[in-house]
Amino acid sequence: MKRIIALIGLFIMSLPTLLMAQEEGTYIENLGAQDSSYLDDSINTVAPATGSNTVIIVVVVVVVIAVAAFFLLKKKKK
Amino acid sequence: MNNTSNIFSARNVFFASLILAGILLAFLAPNAAVNVDEMLHYPHAKQVVNWYFTGGKDVSCLDTPTSNLKYYGQSVDNFTALVNRVFHIQNEFLTRHLTGAFFFWLLLVFGGLLGKELTKSYWTSVLVVLSLLLTPRLFGQAFGNLKDIPFAAGYVAGILYIIRILKTFPKQSWRNVISLAIAIAFAISVRAGGLILFAYLALGILALFVVKPFLLKYIVSTKSCIVRLTGQGLTIAVAGYFLGLLFWPFALQDVFRHPLESLSMMEHYAVSIKQIFNGEVLWSSNLPPGYLIRWIWISTPEFILVGLIYYIAFLTYKFTKPGEQLFLGLFALFTLVFPVIYVIAIGSNLYSGLRQMLFVVPIMVILAVFGLQSMIQILKKWQTRLPCILLFFGLMLFPLFHQAKTFPVDYVYFNWISGGNKKAWSNYEYDYYFHGMKQATDDLIAEIGDKSAVVAMNCQLPNYFEKHPNINFQYTRYLERSSFEWDYGLFGVNYIHPWQLKNKTWQSAKIVKTYYHKGNPLVVLIKRGKKTDFEAIQAIKDKKWGEGELLIKDALETEPNNVWLFVNLANIRLAQAKYNELDSILEKGRTIHPYYEPFYLLEAQKLFDLNDYEAANKVLQQLNGVNPRYSNAAPLMKKVNEKLNNKSN
- A contacts of B321 (beta carbons < 8 Å): 76
Q: Given an 8 Å threshold on Cβ–Cβ distance, is B341 in contact with A69?
A: no
The answer, yes or no, to whether residue B268 has pLDDT greater than 60, is: yes
* Beta carbons of B370 and B306 less than 8 angstroms apart: no
pLDDT tens, position by position, B588-645: 999 999 999 999 999 999 999 999 999 999 999 999 999 998 999 999 999 999 999 9
Q: Does A45 touch chain B (CB under 8 A)?
A: no
Give the burial class of B458: count Cβ atoms within 10 A of its Cβ; 0-12 exposed, 13-18 middle, 19 or more buried.
buried
In angstroms, the CA B586 to CA B603 distance is 8
Residue pair B359/B340 in contact by the 8 Å Cβ criterion: no
Q: What is the pLDDT of residues B98-119, one digit of tens each?
A: 999 999 999 999 999 999 999 9
Chain A residue closest to B65 (CA)? A38
pLDDT of residue B279: 95
Query: How many contacts (CB atoms, under 8 Å) link A and B?
Result: 157
3-state helix, strand, coil in chain B (%, to 5): 65, 5, 25
Q: Quick one: what percent of chain B has pLDDT higher than 90?
A: 88
Choose between B320 and A27: higher pLDDT.
A27
B344 and B424 in contact (C-beta within 8 Å)? no
CB-CB under 8 Å, B634 with A43: yes
Which region among B133-137, B350-354, B560-564 has the lowest average model confidence (pLDDT)? B350-354
Which pLDDT belongs to residue A21? 46
pLDDT of residue A66: 60
Task: Note whether A49 contacts B285, CB cutoff 8 Å.
Answer: no
Q: How far apart are CA B234 and CA B241, in angstroms?
A: 10
CB B617 within 8 A of CB A28: no
Grouping H, G, I as helix, E, B as strand and the rest as coil, residue B408 is coil
Cα torsion through B319, B321, B326, B329, rounded to 10: -70
Q: Closest-CA residue in chain A for B261?
A: A51
A44–B628 CB contact, under 8 Å: yes
- What distance in Å separates residue B222's CA from the closest CA in chain A? 26
Top residue of A23, A37, A41, A50 to mutate, by most chain B CBs within 10 Å, is: A37
Q: ipTM score here?
A: 0.77
* pLDDT over 60 (residue B2): no
pLDDT tens, position by position, B11-61:
999 999 999 999 999 999 999 999 999 999 999 999 999 999 999 999 999
What is residue B536's predicted lDDT score, i.e. its pLDDT? 97
- At A52 the pLDDT is 42
- Whether B207 and A43 lie within 8 Å, measured CB to CB: no
* CB-CB neighbors (< 8 A) of A20 in chain B: none
Q: What is the pLDDT of residue B401?
A: 98
Chain B window 263-322: which residues touch A at a Cβ cutoff of 8 Å?
263-265, 267-268, 270-274, 283, 285, 319-322
A13 pLDDT above the threshold of 80: no
Three-class DSSP labels, B574-611: HHHCCHHHHHHHHHHHHHHCCCCHHHHHHHHHHHHHCC
Question: Cβ of A26 and B574 within 8 Å?
Answer: yes
- Can you point out the beta strands (E) in B230-309? 271-277, 280-283
Q: Is A50 on the interface with B (CB under 8 A)?
A: yes
- Across the interface, whether the CB atoms of A43 and B319 are under 8 A apart is answered no
pLDDT of residue B318: 84
Of A22-31, A66-75, B488-497, the range with the highest mean pLDDT is: B488-497
**Cβ of B242: how many Cβ atoms within 10 Å?**
15
Listed in sequence order, the residues at least 6 apart from B153 whose beta carbon sits closer than 8 Å to its beta carbon are: B103, B104, B106, B107, B110, B186
Q: How many of the other CB atoms lie within 10 Å of CB of B342?
A: 16
Which among A35, A40, A70 has the least Cβ separation from residue B477? Answer: A35
Q: Least CB-CB distance to B203: which of A36, A39, A62?
A: A62
Choose the mutation target among A23, A27, A29, A31 for the interface with B, i.e. most B CBs under 10 Å: A31
- Opening angle at CA B352, ends B350 and B356, nearest 5: 55
Instruction: Provide the 3-class DSSP secondary structure of residue B160.
Output: helix
Q: Is the pLDDT of residue B175 over 80?
A: yes
- Whether chain A has a CB inside 8 Å of the CB on B577: the answer is yes
Find the helix or strand (DSSP H, E) in which B503 lies. Answer: helix B498-503
**B334/A65 CB distance under 8 A:** yes
Quickly count helices (H) and strands (E) in chain B.
30, 7
Question: Residue A55 pLDDT more than 70?
Answer: no
Q: Name the pLDDT band for B348 (thresholds 50, 70, 90).
A: confident
Rounded to whole angstroms, how far apart are CA atoms B402 and B241? 40
**pLDDT for res A24:** 75
Share of chain B above pLDDT 70, in %: 98
Residue B460 has pLDDT above 80, yes or no: yes
When pLDDT is cut at 50, 70 and 90, the band that residue A74 belongs to is low
Beta carbons of B273 and A35 less than 8 Å apart: yes
Under the phi-then-psi rule, with left for phi > 0, alpha for psi from -120 to 50, and beta for the rest, what region is B523?
A: beta
Q: For residue A35, which phi and psi values (nearest 5 degrees)?
A: -90, -25
Over residues B289-305, the pLDDT tens digits come to: 999 999 999 999 999 99
